Amino acid sequence: MAEPDVYPRILAYLVAHSTPPDELVQRLIAETAALGGVATMQISTDEGAFLTNIARLARTTNAVEVGTFTGYSAICIARGMTPGGHLLCCDVSEEWTNIARRYWSEAGLADRIELRLGPAADTLRSLADEPTLDLAFLDADKLGYPTYWEELVPRMRPGGAIIVDNVLQRFQVLDDAATNENVVAIRRFNDQVVADERVDVAMLPIRDGVTLAVKR
């Protein structure tokens, strides 16, 4: 792990050497930042570039996002999908997703993004049982990760990718003395994922930690 004084410089270097956000996304980032402390839920720009690239590599036509917030990650995924692709976004906040809808429309992506408000577990359970998903992005309440995982994995096609955010919890997963319920939940979830024989897993030090799991 990088020394504390070096890590911010590494992050800045990564951002400087990743595809930058366009003008529309910059406005979305600024509007989200104006919301205050909750803005920390938004993904970083280097992670946004990562999502777009994975969506392209997976030739994504059918995707699910659990946890949408103000819509930046959905834009990144949708821009990487094949023409005619469909992204289902699961969230519980009408206030935050109203911002997302405006930017999706302005970006010309409203026709490929479907938003369902309500508990994500219920939305996922309502999907067909067949393994048709190419890509899933999980960035919601951490205590719910195991439930969402178990609903998503059987619905992923072979070679389909699940991307999970915040798996390092600001490096607190390394500290056995950290007993915050989110940290404890993510430690258990990370152990669950790496032991899951249905997927091949790579954990990456992107921002707050990203797991990339590919269905066998």
- Residue 2: inside a domain: no
Spatial CA neighbour of 201 closest among 161, 171, 170:
161
Cα 185 to chain centroid distance, Å, stands at 17
- 187 CB-near residues (< 8 Å, 6+ apart): 173
- Residue 198: inside a domain: yes
- Residue 21: inside a domain: yes
Confidence (pLDDT) at 4 = 56
Assign residue 118 the CATH number of its domain: 3.40.50.150
- Residue 104: inside a domain: yes
Q: What is the pTM of this model?
A: 0.95
How far is residue 92's CA from residue 74's CA, in Å, rounded to a whole number?
15
pLDDT in tens, the chain (216 residues): 445 577 888 889 999 999 999 999 999 999 999 999 999 999 999 999 999 999 999 999 999 999 999 999 999 999 999 999 999 999 999 999 999 999 999 999 999 999 999 999 999 999 999 999 999 999 999 999 999 999 999 999 999 999 999 999 999 999 999 999 999 999 999 999 999 999 999 999 999 999 999 999
Which class for 127: exposed (0-12), middle (13-18), buried (19 or more C-beta within 10 A)? middle
- Residue 188: inside a domain: yes
Total structural domains within the chain: 1
- 137 CB-near residues (< 8 Å, 6+ apart): 51, 63, 64, 65, 66, 67, 73, 77, 162, 163, 165
Confidence (pLDDT) at 138 = 98
Can you tell me whether residue 107 is helix, strand or coil?
coil
User: Could you list the residue range(s) of the whole structural domain that residue 28 is in?
Assistant: 7-215
- Residue 200: inside a domain: yes
Contact 172, 183 (CB under 8 A): yes
- Residue 1: inside a domain: no
**Which H helix or E strand runs over 65?**
strand 62-66
Confidence (pLDDT) at 2 = 46
Confidence (pLDDT) at 33 = 97
Contact 136, 163 (CB under 8 A): yes
Alpha carbon distance, N-terminus to C-terminus of the chain:
30
Residue 86 in tokens: 């469909």
Confidence (pLDDT) at 7 = 81
- Residue 205: inside a domain: yes
Torsion of CA 135, 55, 32, 65, to 10 degrees: -10
Spatial CA neighbour of 131 closest among 111, 108, 158:
158
Residue type, 40: T
Confidence (pLDDT) at 8 = 86
